[in-house]
Structure 1
Amino acid sequence: MHEQFGRAIRREVTDRLLIINEHHLRAVLDRYSAHYNHRRPHRALQLLPPRPDQPIPEPGHISLRRRPVLGGLINEYEPIAA
């Protein structure tokens, strides 16, 4: 596991979430890794995700939709049509 990813998942998820069993842990890790790699902005990439799974919005796009992830523990934001 990448060291930075390990710190991020611990800080953002496992320190804040009660993990019930191994199945639950795997589901949480899978969902968070998808968020981390496809939606989460990374500073080293000028706030772009490493492997976006949707088109990147134009700068200055104002209308956003918030989507809770992992029961609202973290949020993802996506542009909406104006």
Structure 2
Amino acid sequence: MRVGGEAAGRQSGRPPAREAVTALIALYRNDQLGFHVEPTLENGLTEEELTEAITHPAFYAGRPDARGAAGQLKAVLASADGAPDN
């Protein structure tokens, strides 16, 4: 079995980047999220679905990491809208 790419998307029925975002939160790799959040949105995941993907691991990986991920999402969305991130 091949990991990543189309194979991962077919197995879950969702864009594979959602799983990457969730795994990065669980592994405390918020510094890597910026590379995955924007492509996840571009691949068709909605802002609401991505927010859920960030919120759910908070119960397992801890709130600080989920909050960091939420900040990354906010920054990406703000730059996509052309608004300054706060």
What TM-score, normalized by structure 2, do the two folds share?
0.30
Instruction: Return the index of the structure with the highest Cα Rg.
Output: 1
**Structure with the higher helix share, 1 or 2:** 2
Structure with more relative contact order (C-alpha pairs < 8 Å, separation 6 or more): 2
**Bigger strand share:** 1
Task: Give the alignment's TM-score, normalised by structure 1.
Answer: 0.32
